[in-house]
């Protein structure tokens, strides 16, 4: 009997040890510009200084801190990070204002539509859909916090695809707006403050509450069935097929804070890769299984592509431009 107890205890110890290994995060690969093997150039356009590099095409954008929002038919949607204005630039670098497009503008996957959202008054948000080709407004709706329960003081577009827009409210409500019919469907009435979402893939991620600061991922069709939850990380981007995601420290205010680590996971939370650097910016999915981002070192910067197996430089290192630190 004593030997049997010892065997059971030994087996239990081994099982716990193996579970601990599985639960422990993998060691992060530290990325530095210039230290990675050179791979293929990016398939996606990216910003290099004050230019957009898109394969062999280089488009000059006369902004000190341009941010590429999306590639669209005939050009690019670009945000001025200093002033939050967003405009269209054609392949010759000619600028055209996009009415109603500001810092949080969302472009549809087909590159035809963009969203607008602005405060008309305290607790009153005007949300709309416009056409990129000419800026024409196709539909609009006014949300009032005292009428639309749990929308809160601001309604924020998260995704637009076809005739549907995914909208998150500061009060924790999530809805889908059919802008052609001006009809609404509740996804969840409270406690989901969206970070990212995809109508096409029926998936989203968001905070459980403003104060709790935990993130959960779920299908839009079954939001109460959480696929993954973390009180340490937030979701930065979803893969094009909606099966994977990139996460980072929940405490970082994206767009302003310094992102020092990234994790690639499945949407159910399984870790596929982990990386650290002085700073990551311009994080995007290049394919369903590969992410690209800019890696800043102490003196140089470069675009990098990573899969779960390896990372490669996707541009040559260039001197890091001088700009105020955003920590």
Task: Calculate mean pLDDT across residues 37-63.
Answer: 96
**pLDDT, tens digit, for every residue of 125-161?**
999 999 999 999 999 999 998 888 888 888 999 999 9
Classify 106-231 by CATH class. mainly beta
According to DSSP, the β-strands at 155-161 and 66-72 are: unpaired
For residue 239, is pLDDT > 90?
yes
Place of tokens 């990573």: 306
Predicted confidence (pLDDT) at residue 91 exceeds the cutoff of 50: yes
Task: Report which DSSP code applies to 10.
Answer: H
pLDDT reported for residue 3: 46
Q: Which residue has the tokens 């749990």?
A: 150
Across the range 8-15, mean pLDDT stands at 44
Q: How confident is the model at residue 2 (pLDDT cuts 50, 70, 90)?
A: very low
Q: What mean pLDDT do residues 228-250 have?
A: 97
CA distance 20 to 102: 46
pLDDT surpassing 50 at residue 80: yes
The per-residue pLDDT for 327 is: 52
Three-state DSSP state, 139: strand
pLDDT the model gives residue 196: 97
Contacts of 190 (CB under 8 A, 6+ apart): 150, 171, 172, 173
Report the pLDDT value the prediction gives residue 4, as an integer from 0 to 100.
Answer: 47
Going by C-beta distance under 8 Å and a sequence separation of 6 or more, which residues neighbour residue 278? 32, 260, 295, 296, 297, 298
What pLDDT is recorded for position 275?
98
Residue 25 pLDDT level (bands cut at 50, 70, 90): low
Pairing outcome for strands 259-266 and 244-249: antiparallel
Residue 149: the pLDDT is 81
């Amino acid at each position: 009997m004593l030997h049997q107890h010892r065997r059971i205890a030994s087996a239990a110890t081994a099982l716990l040890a193996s579970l601990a290994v599985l639960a422990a995060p993998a060691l992060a690969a530290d990325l530095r510009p210039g230290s990675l093997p050179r791979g293929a150039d990016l398939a996606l356009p990216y910003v290099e200084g004050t230019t957009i590099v898109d394969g062999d095409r280089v488009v000059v954008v006369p902004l000190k801190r341009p941010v590429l929002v999306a590639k669209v038919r005939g050009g690019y949607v670009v945000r001025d990070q200093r002033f939050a204005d967003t405009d269209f630039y054609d392949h010759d670098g000619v600028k055209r204002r996009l009415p109603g497009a500001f810092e949080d503008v969302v472009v549809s996957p087909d590159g035809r539509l963009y969203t607008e959202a602005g405060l008309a008054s305290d607790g009153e948000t005007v949300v709309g859909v416009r056409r990129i080709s000419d800026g024409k407004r196709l539909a609009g709706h006014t949300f009032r916090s005292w009428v639309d329960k749990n929308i809160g003081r601001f309604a924020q577009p998260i995704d637009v695809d076809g005739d549907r827009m995914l909208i998150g409210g500061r009060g924790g409500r999530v809805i889908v707006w059919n802008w052609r019919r001006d009809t609404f469907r509740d996804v969840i009435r409270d406690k989901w403050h969206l970070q990212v979402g995809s109508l096409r893939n029926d998936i989203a991620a968001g905070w459980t509450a403003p104060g709790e600061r935990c993130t959960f991922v779920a299908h839009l069709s079954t939001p109460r069935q959480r696929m993954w939850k973390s009180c340490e990380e937030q979701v930065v981007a979803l893969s094009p097929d909606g099966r994977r995601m990139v996460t980072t420290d929940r405490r970082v205010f994206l767009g302003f804070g310094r992102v020092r680590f990234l994790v690639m996971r499945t949407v159910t939370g399984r870790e596929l890769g982990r990386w650290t650097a002085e700073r990551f910016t311009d994080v995007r999915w290049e394919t369903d299984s590969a992410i690209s981002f800019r890696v800043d070192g102490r003196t140089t910067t470069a675009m990098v592509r990573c899969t779960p197996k390896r990372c490669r430089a996707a541009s040559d290192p260039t001197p890091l431009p001088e700009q105020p630190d955003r920590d």
